Structure 1
Amino acid sequence: MKPIRFLSPMHNSMSQRRRLLGAALGAGVGATSALSLFPLAVSYAQSTPASLNSDAKLIRIGYQKSAVNLVILKQQGALEKRFPDSKISWIEFPAGPQLLEALSVGSLEFGLTGDSPPVFAQAAGKDLFYVGTEPPKPESSAIIVLKDSPIRSLSDLKGKKIALQKGSSAHFLLVQAVKKSGLKWNDIQPIYLTPADARAAFERKSLDAWVIWDPFYAAIELTVPVRVVSTGAGLTNNNSLYLASRNLVENHPTTIRALFEELTQADQLVQKNREQAVRLISSFSGLSPEVIGLFLKRRQISPVGLLDPQTIADQQAVADAFFELQLIPKKINVADIVWSGHPI
């Protein structure tokens, strides 16, 4: 199979239509409305084999507590209604690396992670594809210390034990923080722990700092005296990315577009009915409405769509940074596994 490219190399007129459609979806226009804007693209879609226009019969979705839109869909039973002839399974993961491992071995069809897990997965030769994205949310992750810690600035991290989930978005945040402070990666002591284990160690004072994302960040911020050394602002866009299996991309592109529509509706619920969104997420996670409210406050609201050139560039910057530090074994080209929105 040829490498996937962001823009399909069709003849000029068709290529232009695809670019317009992809741009519309990437800008947040839902699949149905985007197709109505470009009738010739509809003709193209209708000319594809019937198998590519059928919904997947099995849709196993990987999610984390931070996956707001997916959690809302799960709690509403929205996908079960949208895909009545499909079996929908929901599988929770503590972080993105574990989720993508499951996706790459065929245990999932679809999932959401932060910016770093896909980079590690691609560098390891995992078989998966970027298919969609949410807006940046740099304020939703942070480097925190206990209130009485002597650490006041990023440069104070030198020699300190810092907890993080390896291969997660927190990993890239720490990489950027170390770089901005003028330190080198070997100037710090990264301690690789899952969020649950990291919190326990952090509260025991076995660690000097913790790099973490919402809702874990909001949960400890509201229950334990902590101080924020830095959020992701100015360091990383903290993008959230939807990834899919080869089978879903190759054989069921209409399922992915339908998922985008449902995810966008969930996103709109957060904006228009915050109280209901808080209730749905709180009932799932067991976290207090106050924690969920703070978590949601730090999110930007926007439709879910294809990766745009800026998001791809952001991901390439993540990949290049990890390669420069020899944290991944080889240099990768992110665009090679970005789905353009068309049959492949």
Structure 2
Amino acid sequence: MRYDFLRRALAAAALLASLAAAASAGAAERTVHIGFQKYGTLVLLKGRGTLEEKLKPLGYDVQWAEFPGGPQLLEALNVGAVDFGSTGETPPIFAQAAGAPLVYVAHEPPAPKGEAILVPKDSPIRSVAELKGRKVALNKGSNVHYLLVRALEDAGLAYGDIQPVFLAPADARAAFESGAVDAWVIWDPFQAAAEVTSEAREIRNGEGLVPNHQFYLGTKSFVAENKSAVEALLAAIAETDAWVAANTQAAADTLSPSVGIPADILKVALDRQSYGAKPLDEETARTQQKIADTFHALGLIPAAIKVEDALHHPQP
């Protein structure tokens, strides 16, 4: 009898251990890999830790990866290293043209002041027209690539009238401050940092030229197969947007240690950002299509694309 009792006790213990292990495994059945940059809502969402709270009950944990720009982030998405991330307007165009399996999930309202063409404070250049023949640094395929194209067009110049120098933000800033390039097309918070620390002078921002949307994108497979996680992500983004819009100084103070940028600079950038993520509407999709058509006409992407093919249509 004692043997039977011991056997039943051991069996019960084994069952409890098995259930505990299953519960533990169920608590993190899937890891969501999120790409972020030193700007935008996702880096603030990472800092606040609220996404993990929303995803854990659904059986997900989160891994974050930082990228210097949107093109690099979407390269990671293309090879499956990232499930979800945010970029400006142009990177998804280049990525879709390269065959990346991406879908647009949502976007923030326009923030045209959050990107600009800068020149050194002592530069003789006073207008975009004076960039003719000059070296202009930018991150190829980033949101500012389209700003440069539109600004040149607006000033009566062709893209071929300037010498583009393709550099990631850190290298571009070094080239800009050393005088190796004449101008730098850049986005916040790098834009704000250059304006504050080196007194870089803006000759044109996106106002009247480009909307400068921030897009949230995911792989087609992740978005299709993880509806609850996507809904939780968008809910967390909406909460963070609302908090930052009402507390930009607190957001800057919170974000500063994690990104290594002083809070006063971040406050400038956050004040120029827009808040209120929502699904893509027809006007935004048309704007993206115009960007795609422009880059195809310039020979900067290899084939024409249809942005419509990459739009996410949530199922009820």
Normalized against structure 2, the TM-score is what? 0.88
Rounded Cα–Cα distance in structure 2 between residues aligned with 1:124 and 1:308: 24
Q: C-alpha distance in 2, partners of 1:309/1:161?
A: 36
Correspondent of 1:77 among 49, 59, 84: 49
Relative to structure 2, which stretch is displaced further, 185-194 or 124-133? 124-133
Shift of 1:56: 7.2
Q: Which residue of 2 aligns with 1:339?
A: 312
1:281-304 CA-to-partner distances (Å, cap 9, x unmatched) read 1121111111011001111232x1
Aligned to 1:149: 123
Does residue 1:318 correspond to 2:287, yes or no? no
User: Deviation of residue 272 (structure 1)?
Assistant: 2.1
Task: Say which is worse superposed, 225-234 or 268-277, in terms of deviation.
Answer: 268-277
Give the stretch that moved more between structures: 241-250 or 134-143: 241-250
Q: How does 1:185-264 map to 2 (within 5 A)?
A: 185-264=159-238
Report the Cα distance in structure 2 between the residues aligned to 1:56 and 1:341, rounded to whole angstroms: 23
Contact 1:60 1:89 survives alignment (8 Å):
yes
Give the whole-Å Cα distance in 1 for the aligned partners of 2:44 and 2:74.
21
SS of structure 2 residue aligned to 1:265? helix
TM-superposed CA distance for 1:153, in Å, is 1.0
Q: Calculate the TM-score normalised by the size of structure 1.
A: 0.81
1:33-81 C-alpha deviation (Å, 9 max, x unpaired):
xxxxxxxxxxxxxxxxxxxxxx9722100000012x2122211211111
Q: Which has the higher contact order (CA 8 A, sep 6+)?
A: 1
- Mapped pair 1:139 → 2:113: yes
Contact 1:56–1:248 under 8 Å retained in 2? no
Residue segments in structure 2 that go unaligned for 5+ positions in a row: 1-27
CA contact (8 A) 2:35 2:67 kept: yes
What percent of counterpart residues are identical?
46
Contact 1:306 1:341 in 2 (8 A): no
CA contact (8 A) 2:51 2:232 kept: no
Any idea what the Cα deviations from partners look like across 1:264-286, whole Å, max 9, x if unmatched?
Answer: 10011112222321122112111
Does the 8 A contact of 2:37 with 2:67 survive in 1? yes
Residue 102 (structure 1) aligns with = 76
| RMSD, aligned α-carbons | 1.5
Deviation above 4 Å: which 4+ runs of structure 1? none
Q: How many residues align?
A: 288
Counterpart of 1:292 in structure 2 is 266
The DSSP-based 3-state class of the residue aligned with 1:125 is: coil
Match of 2:37, as an amino acid? Q
Is residue 248–residue 271 contact of structure 2 (8 Å, CA) maintained in 1? Answer: no
What is the deviation of 1:148? 1.4
